[in-house]
Amino acid sequence: MTAEIPDVKKTWPHSINTVTIGATATEGGTRTSTITVGGETTLPFYHFEGTMPNKPVLAMEVWDVPAEDWPEPVKKPFADVMSDPGTWAKRCVEEHGAELICLRLKGCDPNGADRTPQEAAEAAKKVLDAVGVPLIIWGCGNVDKDNEVFPVVGDAVSGENCLLGTISEDNYKTLTALGTAYKHKLIAASPVDINLAKQVNILAMDVGFPPENILIYPSTGALGYGIEYVYTIMERLRIAGLKGDKVVAMPMLCDIGIEAWGVKEAKAPESEVPGWGDVNERGPMWEAATAYVYLLAGADILIMRHPDAVRITKNTIARLMGGGA
């Protein structure tokens, strides 16, 4: 006599917001495709009890200046195109299947090339001209400079429904204003803290920016360097969103490449770490493995660098969505 197995399926009262990035000609932009993320009604990949109408997507990272400090294994595939963000983006999309391009305006950093807002806008236009996928534009990280750059860049890419980032607790007014004016989506950043993630969203909503236009960036840690803290914050954010906390019911974004390629495990040549395997395989694997953990935590957009990491992560996403084996 076999016991009857109880049903353990869960239903949640709410779902995660959907956010669309990019605009086609009919929508006032020039993109040939748009990307929609979010809409989950349960935890990641639990197709047996809910729906995940939009699969997680991969953005590939392009800079407005050559990425001199990228480790050799990830610089090599782009070394000949790094001088031009348009050509670089084209390679990402056409050869490596990038679903979005993340243009990081590293060149605007006052501690670096200190490029002007107009130059940043030029770089963004080059990417838009070269590829048809939607665009993420990520500031240089210097708050004052970003607040100078984004109004110019946001205007230049007006109508393209880009995803701009990041806003934070201390700096959200400029970007929320221009996000509203030029119809862009925003990335809300917080330092691995569920309350601060809420706080920045509330601040943006208080100045009239719609929550449906926000993605949460809960910070990203590389595998081996604090990934478990972010993993747990993301699980808690997703659970809170599904339970009905509208302030955190947003899709989530992870900045994988920049973190994964910053650690020894990804970039040290085998001569420095004997027994760890060839860095040309280990590096992309480290980036992909970092991505896998975030996918299981609920990531909707992953920003990545290495073509091999992108290829195997895309395959893993397809499998997690029920395709392949």
Where do contacts with another protein occur on this chain (CB under 8 A)?
A: 2-3, 5-6, 8, 45-48, 111, 221, 223-229, 231-232, 235-236, 239, 262-265, 275-278, 281-282, 285-286, 288-290, 292-293, 296-297, 312, 315-316, 319-322, 324-325
User: Tokens 């204003």 correspond to what residue?
Assistant: 177
Sign of CA dihedral 140, 146, 152, 155: positive
| Shortest reach from residue 125's CB to another protein, in Å | 29
One-letter amino acid identity for 96?
A: H
| Closer Cβ to another protein, 155 or 270, answer by number | 270
In the complex, minimum distance from the CB of residue 85 to another protein, in angstroms, rounded to a whole number: 22
Nearest-approach distance from CB 195 to another protein, in angstroms: 13
Angle at 35 between CA 80 and CA 50, to 5 degrees: 130
C-beta of 213: minimal distance to another protein in Å? 28
The residue among 65 and 293 lying less far from another protein, judged by its C-beta, is: 293
Query: Which residue's CB is nearer to another protein, number 28 or number 323?
Result: 323
Shortest CB 226 distance to another protein, Å: 5
- Could you tell me the smallest distance in angstroms from the CB atom of residue 22 to another protein? 28
Write down the least CB distance from residue 155 to another protein, Å: 29
CB of 135 to another protein, least distance (A): 24
Task: At 11, list the tokens.
Answer: 């239903």
Q: Within a 13 Å sphere around the CA of 6, how many CA atoms are in the beta-carbon half?
A: 2
Q: What angle do helix axes 117-130 and 143-156 make, rounded to 10 degrees?
A: 50
In degrees and rounded to multiples of 5, residue 13 shows phi and psi of -70, -20
> With respect to another protein, which residue has the nearer C-beta, 87 or 280?
280
Closer residue to another protein (CB): 6 or 208? 6
Token code pair at residue 258 = 């920049």
Q: Name the minimum Å distance from CB 289 to another protein.
A: 4
Residue 207 contacts residue 183 (beta carbons within 8 Å): no
> Toward another protein, which CB reaches closer, 156 or 252?
252
Alpha-helix runs per DSSP H in the chain: 72-75, 85-94, 117-130, 143-156, 173-182, 194-206, 227-243, 256-260, 264-267, 279-297, 307-320
Nearer to another protein, 21 or 57 (CB): 57
Residue closer to another protein by CB (options 39, 50) is 50
The β-bridge relationship of strands 35-38 and 18-21 is: antiparallel
The angle formed by the CA atoms of residues 216, 222 and 223, to the nearest 5 degrees, is 115
Distance CA 53, CA 41 (A): 9
Rounded alpha-carbon distances, angstroms, from residue 268 to 40, 91, 225, 261, 283: 38, 26, 15, 10, 9
Percentages (nearest 5) of helix, strand, coil residues in the chain: 45, 15, 40
In the complex with another protein, the residue whose CB is nearer, 36 or 316, is 316
**278 secondary structure, DSSP code:** -
